Amino acid sequence: MSNLQAFRQETRDWLEQNCPASMRLPTDGDDSCWGGRNFTFASEDQKLWMERMAAKGWTAPDWPTEYGGGGLDKGQHKILKEELAAINARSPLDSFGIWMIGPALLKFGSEALKQQHLPPIVRGEIRWCQGYSEPGAGSDLAGLQSKGEDRGDHFIANGQKVWTSYGDKADWMFCLLRTDTEAKKQMGISLVLFDMETPGVTPKPIKLISGSSPFCETFLDDVRVEKDQVVGEVNHGWTIAKYLLTHEREMIGGMGAAVVGGESLSQHASQVMGLEQGRMNNPMLRAEVATWEIDAVCFGLTAERVTDEVKSGQGVGATSAMLKYYGTELNKRRFETLLKINGSDGMVWDGEAANGGWLPRTWLRTKGNSIEGGTSEVQLNVIAKNILGLG
């Protein structure tokens, strides 16, 4: 038996014994495990599942073991994902630490920062949020104005951040500050880390058209930021910021090909609307569903091809903007079609029968997909300039 086969068997056995049965049921979308100091677990099983996976480093399977990660190579990581999928296991831990600041620290952070921050991320002890956008710096992120004033061994930060995902629930923030006001726009920006409990940090939830408040605006009033909490070099944070944006794009773009609760759009439509002689009886809507599914197949295959090309060394690597652009537009189309399929039921905002208004709320939330992490128009600019060379 090859090493990988042995690994698969061990993994399968371990998951069989350690993944609680309730963690193999579909989620309703609201019961993700985010971890952190203030997190309330939805169940004992959820806590157990996170802790067991964290103990093996499998909440961050491909991070080095010295920082608490799983230390898995690509082949092993793929097997773990396959085995988790095979038993419908829920994600043990959703985390901006794992998805965003962790990879940036691994690539750009000092040894001390890695030692300090990575292990608590893996264990789900510290929940992170991102302090990027500002009221005056959305698409034009490099125009950010929040300042970090040099006070020797620390900075004093003042300004306002906006669209901080779960800012009111997070423990630490990775944040872009202007630390040199003289330098040209992209220069003079630093990426810094601070505890959300530091005096002067005030997150306030923003209520969205979907009724929920996944974002905050975060006010910074004379916040003390230690200089040893700067990632990379002072005034050279923009490169890291861009690296992180790429990660974010990939994350958001990847959502496009997902299906509702494991059910395809056409299955959902057939169930809700019924079939007449084997066909959906509204031919225009049928065509809309089929066209969407065709595009979704093509998009899914493209995400697969891009990954395969990178693995075989043929990749261009600059395709995250395309995946983000197309994936989010696809997701918006999916929800518009879902709304049509569900007719008047599709807009019911409250009540048990309507699953608490899940559909209209989620539909409205998707409108943000093509805005957050760089608007569709920004992605098209990136493609035109970086890939196509149009000036």
Partner 1 sequence: MALVLNEEQQMLKESAQGFLAEFAPVDELRKQRDAGSETGYGDKLWAQMVNMGWAAILIPEAYGGLDFGNVGMGQIVEQSGRTLTASPLFATAVLGVTAINLAGSEAQKAELLGAIAAGEITTALAVDEKIHHAPAQISMTAVKQNGGYVLSGGKRFVADGSTADKLIVAARTGGEAGDTNGISLFVVDRSAPGIAVERTTMTDTRNYANISFTNVEVTEAALLGAEGEGFKALSGTLDAGNVYLAAEMLGICQESFDRTLQYLKERKQFGVLIGSFQSLQHRTADWWSQVELCKSVVLKALQAMDDGDAMAPVLASVAKAKLCQVTELSTNEAIQMHGGIGMTDEYEIGFFIKRARPAQMMFGDNSYHTDRFALLGGY
Q: Which residues contact 247 (CB under 8 A, 6 or more apart)?
A: 99, 100, 103, 104
Select the residue interacting with partner 1 from 62, 180, 309, 336 (CB under 8 A).
309
> Which is nearer to partner 1, 172 or 325 (by Cβ)?
325
Cβ atoms within 10 A of the Cβ of 311, count? 11
Stretch that binds partner 1, among 30-38, 39-47, 143-151, 302-310 (CB under 8 A): 302-310
Smallest gap from Cβ 380 to partner 1, in A, equals 4
Residue 259 Cβ vs partner 1, minimum distance, rounded to whole Å: 13
Comparison of 233 and 308: residue with beta carbon closer to partner 1: 308
Question: Is 38 or 267 the residue whose CB approaches partner 1 more closely?
Answer: 267
- Site membership for partner 1, residue 252 (CB under 8 A): no
**Among residues 33 and 273, whose Cβ is nearest to partner 1?**
273
How many residues make contact with partner 1 (CB under 8 A)?
Answer: 43
From 40-48, 208-216, 298-306, 349-357, give the range in contact with partner 1 by CB under 8 A.
298-306
Site for partner 1 in 142-171 (CB under 8 A): none
Please check whether residue 275 is in contact with residue 341, taking contact to mean a CB–CB distance below 8 angstroms.
no
Confirm or reject binding of residue 213 to partner 1 (CB under 8 A): no
* Euclidean distance between CA atoms 279 and 227, whole angstroms: 65
Task: Report the residue number, 183 or 297, with the smaller CB distance to partner 1.
Answer: 297
Tell me: does residue 318 bind partner 1 (CB under 8 A). Answer: no
Q: What is d(CA 138, CA 162) in angstroms, rounded to the nearest whole number? A: 9
Closer to partner 1 by Cβ: residue 199 or 283:
283
Among 2, 17, 312, 344, binds partner 1 (CB under 8 A): 312
Amino acid type, 233: E
- Our finding on whether 81 is near partner 1 (CB under 8 A) is no
Per-residue x/- track, 358-377, partner 1 (CB under 8 A): -------------------x
Q: Which of 322, 338, 341, 359 binds partner 1 (CB under 8 A)?
A: 322
| Window 258 to 297, contacts with partner 1 (CB under 8 A) | 266, 269-270, 275, 278-280, 286-287, 289-291, 293-295, 297
Q: Verify binding: residue 177, partner 1, rule CB under 8 A.
A: no
Beta bridge partners of 174: 130, 193
Please report how close the Cβ of residue 74 comes to partner 1 at its closest, in angstroms.
13
The verdict on 390 binding partner 1 (CB under 8 A) reads yes
Whether the CB-CB separation of 331 and 292 falls below 8 Å is answered with: no
Per rule CB under 8 A, is residue 383 in the interface with partner 1? yes
State the Cα–Cα distance between residues 226 and 316, nearest whole angstrom.
38
Tell me whether residue 6 or residue 287 sits nearer to partner 1 (CB atom). Answer: 287
When the beta carbons of 152 and 389 are compared against partner 1, the nearer one is: 389
Residue (200 or 315) nearer to partner 1, CB: 315
Q: Which spans of this chain sit near partner 1 (rule: CB under 8 A)?
A: 266, 269-270, 275, 278-280, 286-287, 289-291, 293-295, 297-299, 301-302, 304-305, 308-309, 311-312, 314, 319, 322, 325-326, 377, 379-381, 383-385, 387-391
